[in-house]
Amino acid sequence: MSGFTLLEIMIALAIIGIALTVIIQTVNYHANIMYENTLTTRMFQLAKEKIYEMEMTPQNSGGDIDKTGFKYENTITGIENSNIIELKTVVKGYGRQVVLNEFVIKKEDSKKKNGGKNR
């Protein structure tokens, strides 16, 4: 008589089932890590864009970022007795938060540079 017994087939199926469970959990774990990394990277990119916008026109602002599901808040803080200001951007969304800070030198007004005269 040739072939496998019922016991051998059941043991083989149990081993295959355990192996498949481990493989599926591993794939799911790594897919979740990739999703979180992608989300965090996108948030940092958006925060850098907002910091750049603040460098061009320094003002406090906030709101929703178009069609992304993220919210942002830009704040400017002056440092006492210094010509340095802190630009801070906070991007929030999907239960996460990214904060970027940057210190820059205040831009002087053109009126102050030219002695109050516009040229």
pLDDT digits (tens, 9 = 90+) for 3-32: 889 999 999 999 999 999 999 999 999 999
Residue 118 maps to a domain = no
Query: Which domain does 61 fall in, by range?
Result: 6-113
- Contact (CB, 8 A) for 92 and 36: no
Residue 51 maps to a domain = yes
CB atoms within 10 A of CB 33: 10
Residue 43 maps to a domain = yes
| Helix/strand/coil percentages in the chain, nearest 5 | 45, 25, 25
- What pLDDT shows up at residue 2? 78
Split into its structural domains, the chain has a count of 1
Average pLDDT over every residue of 68-78: 93
- Contact (CB, 8 A) for 101 and 86: yes
Q: For residue 51, which of 106, 95, 105, 99 has the smallest C-alpha distance? A: 99
Residue 119 maps to a domain = no
119 has pLDDT over 50: no
Residue 1 maps to a domain = no
Average pLDDT over every residue of 84-90: 94
Residue 89 maps to a domain = yes
Residue 99 maps to a domain = yes
What whole-number distance in Å separates Cα of residue 37 and Cα of residue 29? 13
116 has pLDDT over 60: no
Look at 108 and 54; give whichever has higher pLDDT: 54
- What pLDDT shows up at residue 68? 87
Residue 106 maps to a domain = yes
